[in-house]
Amino acid sequence: MRVFWKDVRRGQNLILSEQEGHEEIIGGYRENKRGIDAYAQTFGYEPGRSQKGFASIQDAMDFVEDFRPWELHGAH
């Protein structure tokens, strides 16, 4: 398995790629008029995994990576 950031319109998605070529979005951030919003995947209701108003892209990326969402899929 491989985890990487992929450019999308107005931001990036954190992607988990399996050897079979299947890719799953496990987090990401978006730039908008009010700042930067970020989210990390969860399998339940966890509002703390989404946050708005980051001052920098790096802060948003760190927020997502700190949750280690790839571990939900067995990747380490």
pLDDT tens per residue, range 42-66: 988 889 999 999 999 999 999 999 9
Q: Please tell me whether residue 44 adopts helix, strand or coil conformation.
A: coil
Q: Does residue 36 contact residue 53 with C-beta atoms inside 8 Å?
A: yes
Q: Does residue 27 contact residue 40 with C-beta atoms inside 8 Å?
A: yes
Residue 20's pLDDT is 81
Q: Does residue 64 contact residue 14 with C-beta atoms inside 8 Å?
A: yes
Q: What is the pLDDT of residues 30-46, one digit of tens each?
A: 999 989 999 999 988 88
pTM recorded for the entire structure: 0.88
